[in-house]
Amino acid sequence: NAGVTQTPKFQVLKTGQSMTLQCAQDMNHEYMSWYRQDPGMGLRLIHYSVGAGITDQGEVPNGYNVSRSTTEDFPLRLLSAAPSQTSVYFCASGRAANEQFFGPGTRLTVL
């Protein structure tokens, strides 16, 4: 099993550009989530999904969209990137919210 994979590993965007961060898991987990990690602030939940077709907002959802059309994939979309979205983004999955497995992260810089 590859576990949780994230692409790309690094990305630089200009303000106003859009992009999608990809996340995939091959463990047949129902629960998937996206976090952002900023210095001194720990990890903050952006969006999560408890199964295909079901998504919900986390602590900091503004500026981000998600969808869950399959069990395996949970992409995170930035429609109009802002410098405040410069961060490291982690995707995680688990049988439930408990026992989440994290991916390796995507480092995003918005200029």
Partner 1 sequence: GENVEQHPSTLSVQEGDSAVIKCTYSDSASNYFPWYKQELGKGPQLIIDIRSNVGEKKDQRIAVTLNKTAKHFSLHITETQPEDSAVYFCAATSNTGNQFYFGTGTSLTVIP
Residues lying near partner 1 in the complex (CB under 8 A) are found at 4, 31, 33, 35, 40-45, 48, 50, 56, 58-59, 90, 92, 96-105
Residue 32 CB, nearest approach to partner 1 (Å): 11
Nearer to partner 1, 85 or 100 (CB): 100
Give the pair of three-digit tokens for residue 104: 């390796």
Residue 44 CB, nearest approach to partner 1 (Å): 7
Give the pair of three-digit tokens for residue 82: 């802002």
Omega cis (within 30) before 8: yes
d(CA 15, CA 38): 19
